[in-house]
Chains A and B, each alone.
Chain A
Amino acid sequence: MAPAAEAHAFGIALRFDPGLRPPGLQAPPPGAGAATEVTCDPDGIEREWADAEVVYVDWVGDQEHPALTIACCAGGSYLVSAEGHGRAHVDAAGLCIRCEPDPGSVTFPALLAAQVLPLAATIRGLEVLHASGVVIDGDAYLFAAEPGVGKSSLAARLLLRGAGLLSDDAVAVDAGMSAHTGSKMLHLRSGERSLLTPADLAVLGPQTMLNGRAAFVAGAEVTPARVRCLFLLERTAGRSWITPQPELTPFALLGATFVPSVRTPARLERQLALCQRLAKDVAMFSVGIGPHLPADALAERLLDQVAGASAR
């Protein structure tokens, strides 16, 4: 039997049963701490969940036929279910993930990376933001936005300019304000992918297709880095802008969470405290992306902003 695979993502150490480890996760550093065990254990899920008292269920997509559900039980554990992919039970401590891939599913590891591991990290005390993140000269720069605005395209362009990838969709921040790598899979829509040159593709790394999008295992390993700037991106019909936002509403920061399903008092209080620290210690910018501003040009403008922030 192949050995279990160890990894480190979203600020937590992980140990996977064979076949479950998602691509794009970094190896654990020395002294990484207690590992969350990720096992293939359908019987264990039945045992843990059959009599669970469900307190609430969050869902993504249509409520009648949701693409994803996350159920929380009174004992503090969670069940993540996605039709066509499988389901996973996360215990109340975030230290045990029991998995049941759907028969024939090849996308279950992607579900783990996209939803289950961020949930476990949140239970274990980190805050996961819905943001892409890169490391430039040892500092972390995060880009929060609604899906489809262009986080991944921007991250790709910054990688091509020498940045290191933390994640293209979900970045974990610890109490010390350091940002950690998530999955280093970079997903690009076909339009952005078509703009890349062969030299660009060589930089971005090995490519596969996943859910109709090009997926790259992107870039060299990066170590956790202190958050320096947070950019809030939005699409605009008019001119583009990059504006400092020292008075960003705290509810915009609270709304940038990737994991709304963990609603324990301890987590809510921790999340609010982190948002206060972000607002106080991190330079914030509002970014409007006009229809004629490609990701390449946006990356250049943001790097100019980053250089300006570093000089202060």
Chain B
Amino acid sequence: MNEPFANDLAEARFRLPQHVVHRSFVSETVVLNLKTGKYHGLNTTAGKMLDALHEGLTVAETAQRLAAEYEQDAAAIQADVTVLCRGLVDRGLMEAVGGARS
């Protein structure tokens, strides 16, 4: 279920902290918290979102990229990216860059 579109995160950038690594497989992406030893699985779409964010794209830019790839509405995808970011931040797997609010 998508959250309402969050304007304040559109220009935000996120990154994986040093203690978090990820590897992509055919059907999912595995995110590993090296501090806790816990593994998390992301589906292929979420994995692509993570890759884009990890490259340094903003939330909006990430959504634009996936919207082009999937030929879907960018606003809807941006809401999904926002949900993903909040979920990963809540789990200690991602952090905002440059003081952006999450």
Contacts and interface: CB of A to CB of B under 8 A. Distances in A.
Given A254-B39, A265-B35, A269-B34, A276 B24 contact: yes
A206 interface: no
A272 B41 contact: no
B17 to A, nearest CB: 12
Interface string B34-48: 110101010000000
Given A251-B41, A263-B37, A265-B34, A275 B26 contact: no
Interface in A237-265: 246-251, 254, 263, 265
Contacts of B37: 263, 268
Contacts of A92: none
A269 B26 contact: no
Given A251-B41, A254-B39, A265-B19, A279 B25 contact: yes
A269 B16 CA distance: 14
B34 A250 contact: no
Contacts of B32: 268-269, 272
A265 B19 CA distance: 8
Interface in B2-35: 19, 21, 23-28, 30, 32, 34-35
Interface string A271-303: 011011001000000000000000000000000
Q: How large is the interface on A (under 10, 10 to 19, 20 to 34, 35 or more residues)?
A: 10 to 19
A273 B23 contact: yes
A250 B30 CA distance: 8
A268 B41 CA distance: 15
B26 A247 contact: yes
A268 B37 CA distance: 7
A249 B28 contact: yes
* A249, A263, A273: residue with the most chain B Cβ atoms closer than 10 Å: A249
A276 B34 contact: no
Contacts of B25: 249-250, 275-276, 279
A153 to B, nearest CB: 31
A247 B24 CA distance: 12
Contacts of A265: 19, 34-35
Given A254-B39, A272-B21, A279 B26 contact: yes
Contact of A272 (B19, B28, B30, B35): B30
B64 to A, nearest CB: 28
A263 B27 CA distance: 25
* A254, A263, A265, A273: residue with the most chain B Cβ atoms closer than 10 Å: A265
B51 to A, nearest CB: 14
Nearest to B24: A276
Contacts of A250: 23, 25, 28, 30, 41
Contacts of A263: 37
Contacts of A246: 26
Given A250-B30, A251-B39, A254-B39, A269 B21 contact: yes
Nearest to B26: A247
A247 B19 contact: no
Interface of B: 19, 21, 23-28, 30, 32, 34-35, 37, 39, 41
Given A249-B25, A265-B34, A269-B34, 14 more contacts: A246-B26, A250-B30, A250-B41, A251-B30, A268-B34, A268-B37, A269-B21, A272-B21, A272-B23, A272-B30, A276-B23, A276-B25, A279-B25, A279-B26
Give the 4 A-B residue pairs with the shortest CB-CB distance, closest first: A265-B34, A276-B23, A247-B27, A247-B26
16 contacts: A247-B26, A248-B26, A250-B23, A250-B28, A250-B30, A250-B41, A251-B39, A251-B41, A254-B30, A263-B37, A265-B19, A265-B34, A268-B32, A272-B21, A275-B23, A276-B23
